[in-house]
Chains A and B, each alone.
Chain A
Amino acid sequence: QKEVEQDPGPLSVPEGAIVSLNCTYSNSAFQYFMWYRQYSRKGPELLMYTYSSGNKEDGRFTAQVDKSSKYISLFIRDSQPSDSATYLCAMSVQQRGGADGLTFGKGTHLIIQP
């Protein structure tokens, strides 16, 4: 079993729809949770990060973390064709004085149809 599971898609939705992207994980030590967006031929771009459980909102994006269920979500409201990209969840265990690097899901390919 992979540490982080993410449906690769593709997920195709009409413009203006609410998009829900999800990841599950197995390592209960993860404390920091991130969502990255990656366009073709580009590096990943950080969209949201949250610490521990709870919700965080930034414009059209909302990130949710449920540590009890080991489940994280990213919601995109009023989706636009420019949101078409691969969305990667990532997690890390913050250690004092060190870092484990990020553990990524494989990404969900999202297509917003005009």
Chain B
Amino acid sequence: KAGVTQTPRYLIKTRGQQVTLSCSPISGHRSVSWYQQTPGQGLQFLFEYFSETQRNKGNFPGRFSGRQFSNSRSEMNVSTLELGDSALYLCASSLSGGYGYTFGSGTRLTVV
């Protein structure tokens, strides 16, 4: 079966712009989580959506937001991009959350 699909794979944006990243979970998975991965901080939890509702949010500023659609697809938005937002953004899906996540290959965002 198809895995977690993230688009685009690579993105270059200018400081101050905004960006939207997309994630299609495994069919049947209702929980979608987003993580930021950087060499300095490792993988950090951004937020989790379950049945179109944000269930938990990590310690990131309000510039980071997301949403989930009725078909479980999810988008993540970052406004007013900063250089420090350059990272690999990973989406993960699971049946109900808590453990057993399947990750996508990520979107590599570079802010210049």
The residues of A with any CB-CB pair to B shorter than 8 Å are 32, 34, 36, 41-46, 49, 51, 88, 90, 92, 94-95, 98-107
Contact = CB atoms under 8 A, between A and B. Distances in A.
B78 interface: no
Which secondary structure dominates where chain B touches chain A? Answer: strand
B99 A104 contact: no
Nearest to B46: A101
B33 to A, nearest CB: 6
16 contacts: A34-B100, A36-B103, A41-B105, A42-B105, A43-B4, A43-B92, A44-B103, A45-B103, A49-B100, A92-B99, A99-B50, A99-B98, A101-B35, A101-B47, A104-B42, A104-B43
B43 A99 contact: no
Contacts of B35: 101-102, 104
A42 to B, nearest CB: 5
Interface of B: 4, 31, 33, 35, 42-45, 47-48, 50, 55-56, 58, 90, 92, 97-106
B43 A49 contact: no
**Top 4 nearest A-B pairs by Cβ distance?**
A101-B45, A43-B103, A99-B97, A106-B42
A92 B101 CA distance: 11
A7 to B, nearest CB: 13
Which secondary structure dominates where chain A touches chain B? Answer: strand
B42 A105 contact: yes
Contact of A34 (B4, B31, B55, B99): B99
